[in-house]
A = this chain, B = another copy of it.
Amino acid sequence: MRSDCPLNYGIEIFGDKWTLLIIRDLMFFGKRYYNEFLSSAEGIATNLLADRLAMLEKEKIIRKGKDSQHKQKIVYSLTEKGIDLLPVILCIGLWSDKYASIKLNPNRDLIIGDAKKNLPRGIDKMKKNLLKEHVKLKMKNEE
C-alpha cells in the first residue's frame, strides 16, 4: 500500500483497465465462466484475465466454485465484498451517462436509468437481488 487513504485502497485493487469490467460482467450480465469473460466487448487477453481472477479471489471479491452441471467448468461468483462494489460501478456509470458523447448501449441504459431515478433505493434493491443469488451459490458450493 502506498498510503493509508481509503480511496487509495480501492484504487490499488481495481484501479486498472480490466478489473471492474470483470466485476460488471458478474454483476449485470450473469457471466460466470472464463470463456464468458473473454467474450466481452472490450476483449481482455487470456493472461490478463487469469491474472485478475486470481487477484480478485485473493482479495476475496470473487469466489471459485465447481459447476455441478458442466463438470469441466469453473464457476466464478461475487462475494459480499464484491457485491458491495455495486455503488461504485453505478456511480461511474451515472457519471459516464452524463458526460460520454458516445451512444449508450440501450441494455445498460435500462440499468443506469433505474439507478438514476431512485438512488440509493435502487441500489439497495439491486444489492438484495445479488445477495440472494450469492447465498444460493454459496450453499450450492458447500453441498
Interface residues of A (CB under 8 A from B): 1-12, 15-17, 20-21, 24, 40-43, 81, 84-85, 87-89, 91-100, 102-105, 108-109, 112, 119-120
4 A-B pairs closest in CB distance:
A6-B96, A3-B41, A9-B96, A10-B92
Known: A6-B97, A8-B41. 13 other contacts (CB 8 A): A4-B102, A4-B104, A5-B21, A5-B105, A5-B108, A6-B92, A6-B93, A6-B104, A6-B108, A7-B24, A7-B93, A84-B98, A88-B88
| Chain A interface SS verdict (over half) | helix
Give 13 A-B contacts (CB < 8 Å), ordered by A residue: A2-B42, A3-B42, A5-B41, A6-B100, A6-B104, A7-B20, A7-B21, A7-B89, A8-B21, A15-B17, A84-B98, A84-B99, A87-B95
Contact partners of A6 in chain B: CB under 8 A: 92-93, 96-97, 100, 104-105, 108-109, 112
Q: Which residue of chain B has its CB nearest to the CB of A24?
A: B7
